[in-house]
Structure 1
């Protein structure tokens, strides 16, 4: 079967045609599951010959895309595997579009057009370009004739007086690229080429902020979460950032935004009733203290992201402390047995411990689902590892805890229209 990497302009022309659309409708009726793929592929090959590969691949990619985008929109789109893997999820793309509302935007690495689809609903005008002619042809199919598209190298700007959106590739040959200087195009080169432009550059979620600052970036770094996980880290040039803001966490599920301009005066103290593991965007943006200050929480340790409080912020999950234990396996095993634990979620920060290996060694035989939050408290000679035995927050989190924690930890104190040359 043909792989996504083998898509050609001729394939895109066929898939975009009425005949291709009809063939895709036929192939979509096959299950194409792990159990049926071999038989289904053989039947499709017998019927469609050399076009079977792109038909099956496109059908499978559309099914994957339905979970990332609006299902109705994904049903008619064309993708490559890597383009779909890197494409910005619909809620995040809509967020970017809202931040760029009213501006003229040039997506200079537009790929198959997922960001442009969101931008054209809010921006004054949009254009897209990409160096990959196959992805550009897919973008034309996906977006229709109304969006201006051209083939161009992102390192050779072809627009003026626009906000430039850039999404360098962070995978190559199926391998994730960790060093931003290995992005395609490299992040350091992009920063130099667009140093004096209003630009947004999308990066990997786990971006090292210090390394980006060392590359000379002096704008805002935003970490965005959606669907319970961090989706994207974006660099917003100083022209697009709010005054005084260099770090931002955007929690799309909650409609909450924090920045480093917000208050961060939170205490470090003994655990209360609840332990809260902040959203990944808050942790990634380094705004844990700001989040705690906003919601009346405090830190268990100044260097650890776990927070505590006697009440949960509205709509936020947490772990109700049932017991406080030493991190010795026999102690943990006895406590879990005493609470009839049959499954345990293990969260670890600041302690060198493999949660999966520990879970296997605990040999649980009960029925109740519980959690262990294992962390380090204090530092230096007073440092010690602590395990909190917890239950996850229920719908009714207002009653008294089942059992108070033992041996509390001592407190420690206007844009002009685009001009194409």
Structure 2
């Protein structure tokens, strides 16, 4: 639904607090939603859609924000909101600086910046989201104002931007189609310290082609890549153009780190590096740091005789040339009934392959399928493995 400024004013009041607390007690599941909404409507009348939508958005946002139960959101704001741990990481890189978030939306980045940055300003062109930000940031000393991100209203601040990457529910992959467009942001804030949050899969070459010459940081959390973030040259670490940050493992790698990673046959373990490492193109750097080697110079799988601390790996118990028939026979001989399938470099769909293996056993193993070699020497290999956990 579309919220209005009047809706936000109501939702921020004491009467709505009590109503929201009651609606939050309802399950609002697929099975119960019709009955639950009817029950809420009998008590809250025309306010029911506002209350139900707010409760549902808070529940969705809870996976990103620990205090989402008191926040106000729009649906798009929840979709694009930065997970709290990622926002805190970014804010820590800006500690002590004056910062202006020019696309502040409902304020998720501002909360992380407050208390770390020397001074914080937030602005947005959408008056409804700005009203929600005022509610969400009540009690803080963040300055909020309505302004277009492409018309600067501050000087001597680090500019943070999080352009919208969806339109009508569909993702935009070209950064020139962001709102505001990435090329426009780079032009307007040329010569200023600028931080831009982008989609995880953004094309690095295309970004460079737009004239960006700073650092691209890829950040992962909870086993998934959350974002790519552009840090202008004045904020980048000298000599670094790519960085991978693994928040769960408290580990960072950059393209300035050593990358002397050899290529060799599989050892005891196979390691599928964190997505941030792969996306940032730092697989060799990760391997060099942890004493691992590549199975193939063009494939992101690593191998070694030990595992990096805290990293899940796959202990090799069999290696075979990959065909479905050969793999089916191998797994049947090992009494396998469930299998995790990892694939790189070959056209195999794990979900389509799994039922064709016709597994009937009692054991659970993993299979790593990949390509080894190039050109006429290329071959598909399957490694039957035991996961470390």
Q: Which category describes the TM-score, using the shorter chain as reference length?
A: over 0.9
Measure how far apart 1:46 and its partner are: 2.2
* Match among 110, 125, 138 for residue 104 of structure 2: 110
> What residue number does 2:39 align with?
43
SS in 2 for 1:154: coil
> Within 2, Cα distance between the matches of 1:304 and 1:140?
48
> Within 1, Cα distance between the matches of 2:247 and 2:253?
12
**Is 2:103 the counterpart of 1:91?**
no
> Given the two structures, how large is their TM-score scaled by the length of structure 1?
0.91
> What residue number does 1:398 align with?
none
Aligned residues: 388
**Is 2:229 the counterpart of 1:234?**
yes
> What residue number does 2:68 align with?
74
> What residue number does 1:144 align with?
138
SS in 1 for 2:70: coil
Measure how far apart 1:36 and its partner are: 0.8
> Within 1, Cα distance between the matches of 2:356 and 2:190?
53
> What residue number does 2:238 align with?
243
The unaligned stretches of length 5 or more in structure 1 are 395-421
> Given the two structures, how large is their TM-score scaled by the length of structure 2?
0.98
* Match among 371, 378, 383 for residue 376 of structure 1: 371
* Match among 9, 13, 19 for residue 15 of structure 2: 19
> Within 2, Cα distance between the matches of 1:384 and 1:333?
18
The answer to which of 177-186 and 296-305 deviates more is 177-186
> What residue number does 2:386 align with?
391
SS in 2 for 1:157: coil
> What residue number does 1:308 align with?
303
Deviations 1:195-245 (A, max 9, x none): 211010000011111110111100000000011111111000000001000
The unaligned stretches of length 5 or more in structure 2 are none
> Within 2, Cα distance between the matches of 1:188 and 1:339?
55
Measure how far apart 1:135 and its partner are: 0.4
RMSD: 0.8
Measure how far apart 1:248 and its partner are: 0.3
> What residue number does 1:399 align with?
none
> Within 1, Cα distance between the matches of 2:323 and 2:54?
52
Deviations 1:138-189 (A, max 9, x none): 0000001522100000011111000000000011111111111111111111
> Within 2, Cα distance between the matches of 1:20 and 1:337?
60
SS in 2 for 1:75: helix
> What residue number does 2:257 align with?
262
> Within 2, Cα distance between the matches of 1:232 and 1:197?
22
* Match among 26, 31, 51 for residue 27 of structure 2: 31
> Within 2, Cα distance between the matches of 1:9 and 1:259?
45
Runs of 4+ in 1 over 3 A off after TM superposition: none
* Match among 317, 320, 325 for residue 330 of structure 1: 325
> Within 1, Cα distance between the matches of 2:119 and 2:337?
57
> What residue number does 2:201 align with?
206
Deviations 1:319-377 (A, max 9, x none): 01111112111111111111111111111111011111111111111121111111110
> What residue number does 1:64 align with?
60
